Structure 1
Amino acid sequence: MKNQTQHHFIKINGVNIFYREAGPKDAPVLVLLHGYPSSSHMYRNLINDLSDKYHLIAPDYPGYGRSEQPPIAEFAYTFENYSVIVQGLLDQLNIKKYSLYLMDYGAPVGWRIASNHPERIDTLIVQNGCAYDEGLEAFWDPIKAYWKDRNNKEAETTLRGFHDANGLKWQYTHGVPDQSVISPDNWEIDLRHLERPENDQIQLDMFYDYRTNVDLYPKWQEYFRTYNPEMLIVYGKNDYIFPVAGAEAYKKDIKNLEYHLYDAGHFALESNGNEIAAAIRQFLDKKTGTQK
């Protein structure tokens, strides 16, 4: 029997964090880390699909979804700080062992957590998230230009366009064979938090901070080789943001790898959620010993 999703707020390091939770508290835990420019809302269907036998937790990062958005002057909007917030949430919920679902921005947040605490990781599920230079193709050119010069107005204008109304819709629909299956509610909900005062600057700050993730790629790749984590890749193969070359690259270092590509775009759960949920269930049943 599937469990109804609960919606909670909790203070972590002084910030009011929103998270969704479902499933038996004594079941194996799956932590769902969302991407840019979305929130835990992107996992609403997956949570429902898996909540009969898994304990699902999906937080919103500060400045995203329903979590608090502290002023920029009072909070460091960085991937490192997001990983500290997520780890703080897990610690406060007394969760010691878990699988991580890593999507887009959720990947660098999750890789920090996994490489810092490899003993806590059951499995890793990667959906359109990167840990290799091969995954940073043409989409990243203006971002790389911004890394070189934060005063590059042409790059900044391009980056702002990624999360305006048209840019949001493009992120959800590009590469999707049948766009009618993508709910417009997705980008309307994202737009709500993106229109908060200072949020546009937060997004630019996060784009700039992404360079710190690239610097850590060698460390994370070493983590893969050293600990050989069990990994499932469920990837939208038509993604322009994190193209399939980034998925292929994991094969260089991950020995315990199950690999699936779908005829989908960046937000693959929106068009192929049922297939992905089935693959995750089969994988977790096998790897966490819940198979009956």
Structure 2
Amino acid sequence: MRSKRLTYAATLVAAALLLGLGLLWRNPYALISGDFTRQRLMAGLSKASVGVGEDRWVYAYSDDAPDDAPTVVMLHGFTGSKENWYPVAQRLHGRYRVIVPDLPGWGESDRRAGADYGFVAQGERVMRFLHAVSGNRPVVLLGHSMGGGIAAVAAAGHPSSVSHLGLIDAAGVRFNDNRFGEEVLAGRNPFGVSNRPTLQRYLDTVFFDPKAQPWIPWPADDIYIARRREDAAFEQQVLDRIGRGDERFIPGEVARTIRQPTLLLWCRQDAVIDASALDLYAQRIPQARRVLLDGCGHMSIIEKPDAVAQAVVDLIEKGTRR
């Protein structure tokens, strides 16, 4: 009897493995998606989708907060996704309502051929999305990198819909020259990933602390590299528009009209959007709270989530700089 039970258990394990291999063969990215699900659940977030106009948005969220708690919306950066914000969202969970979308064109949200994914178009999409998921209630809008430029445009254009603004390592101003900026102006994508060396270069560029870099073991690395190869043309199209096109400085230009309480947060060692951008935005938004962190790079929201979350709490609870 014991032998039969062991044989039956082994058969079930083998069947499960074969099923798993079959699913991965059909959808290799499921391996990475499964880990994203683990991260989302650890952050206390659920997942939903909503159609807004021609776009289908996928977003993570938590309503586990007091009825009168503010809604905090987090926008990711170039080549990023909602998962980048999970460490900060986990720390704000329970205190505020949290909404973390994949911007249209990125992550699990829809991408439409020929659509405009620049700062201005995305800013308008963000406001339509916010109306769909939050109604007329103003939100705290946070944006990282490209998402920061989008957030600045949205907040400037729709001041009654954004109560507080957080620009984290935000694009949209002419910061001091660095290798990243020079490559963008030359028409290259310094974030491009096509093999293992370029994957490591990408990680080394956005993270200052090697220990903070995500561990991407085989076969997840090959699966991720294949996805980034597929996205190369789209990435270049967006980067050409927001990095060296006519829109590249629009966020900084419209920032002069921003009156909301604002947080400007950078890392001193940011090798993507140089920390000189903090002062450039501060000149345009004099009421802003300024936070310059040490020992982190472009991915402050992953490298220093405790500090970022505390800065967001201070923005909401204390408002403008004193």
TM-score greater than 0.5 by the shorter chain: yes
The SS at the match of 1:162 is coil
Structure 1 residues not aligned, in runs of 5+: 147-154
Which residue does 2:142 correspond to in 1? 101
Question: Is 1:68 aligned to residue 100 of structure 2?
Answer: no
Which residue does 1:44 correspond to in 2? 86
Give, as a single letter, the amino acid of the residue that structure 1 aligns with 2:171. C
Decide which of 53, 60, 77 is 1:20's aligned counterpart. 60
The verdict on how the C-alpha distance between 1:252 and 1:8 changes in structure 2, with shifts beyond 3 A counting, is same
Shift of 1:285: 2.1
Larger Rg: 2
The aligned runs of 1:87-98 (5 Å cut-off) are 87-93=127-133, 94-98=135-139
Measure the CA separation in 2 of the matches of 1:175 and 1:108: 17
- The sequence identity of aligned pairs, in percent, is 17
Give, as a single letter, the amino acid of the residue that structure 1 aligns with 2:289. E
Which residue does 1:144 correspond to in 2? 185
Deviation string for 1:248-280 (max 9, x for gaps)? 212312222222222201111222111221222
The SS at the match of 2:100 is strand
The verdict on how the C-alpha distance between 1:237 and 1:196 changes in structure 2, with shifts beyond 3 A counting, is closer
Structure scoring higher RCO (CA < 8 A, sep ≥ 6) equals 1
The SS at the match of 1:275 is helix
Measure the CA separation in 1 of the matches of 2:62 and 2:282: 32
The SS at the match of 2:83 is helix
The aligned runs of 1:198-237 (5 Å cut-off) are 199-210=231-242, 211-217=245-251, 219-224=253-258, 227=259, 229-237=260-268
The SS at the match of 1:133 is coil
Which residue does 1:241 correspond to in 2? 272
The aligned runs of 1:121-200 (5 Å cut-off) are 121-134=162-175, 137-146=178-187, 155=188, 159=189, 162-164=192-194, 165-174=196-205, 176=207, 178-185=209-216, 192=224, 195=227, 199-200=231-232
Work out whether residues 175 and 264 of structure 1, in 8 Å CA contact, stay in contact via their aligned partners in 2: no
Work out whether residues 233 and 257 of structure 1, in 8 Å CA contact, stay in contact via their aligned partners in 2: yes
The SS at the match of 1:122 is strand
Give, as a single letter, the amino acid of the residue that structure 2 aligns with 1:276. V
Work out whether residues 167 and 262 of structure 2, in 8 Å CA contact, stay in contact via their aligned partners in 1: yes
Measure the CA separation in 2 of the matches of 1:169 and 1:140: 19
Which residue does 1:283 correspond to in 2? 315
Work out whether residues 72 and 142 of structure 2, in 8 Å CA contact, stay in contact via their aligned partners in 1: yes
Decide which of 57, 65, 69 is 2:99's aligned counterpart. 57
Deviation string for 1:213-264 (max 9, x for gaps)? 334256313314xx3x312122121111101111121231222222222220
Measure the CA separation in 2 of the matches of 1:161 and 1:258: 30
The SS at the match of 2:310 is helix
Measure the CA separation in 1 of the matches of 2:221 and 2:132: 28
Measure the CA separation in 2 of the matches of 1:95 and 1:42: 27
RMSD: 2.9
TM-score (ref. length: structure 2): 0.74
Structure 2 residues not aligned, in runs of 5+: 1-41
Deviation string for 1:146-175 (max 9, x for gaps)? 3xxxxxxxx4xxx27633454454444447
| Structure 1 runs, 4 residues or longer, greater than 6 Å off | none
Deviates most, 126-135 or 202-211: 126-135
The SS at the match of 2:98 is strand
The verdict on how the C-alpha distance between 1:176 and 1:143 changes in structure 2, with shifts beyond 3 A counting, is closer
Give, as a single letter, the amino acid of the residue that structure 2 aligns with 1:49. R
The SS at the match of 2:312 is helix
Deviates most, 199-208 or 131-140: 131-140
Deviation string for 1:71-121 (max 9, x for gaps)? x24x33333332232222111121430111111110221122111111222
TM-score (ref. length: structure 1): 0.81
Shift of 1:131: 3.3
Give, as a single letter, the amino acid of the residue that structure 2 aligns with 1:106. G
Which residue does 1:34 correspond to in 2? 76
Work out whether residues 17 and 59 of structure 1, in 8 Å CA contact, stay in contact via their aligned partners in 2: yes
Which residue does 2:45 correspond to in 1? 5
Shift of 1:136: 5.7
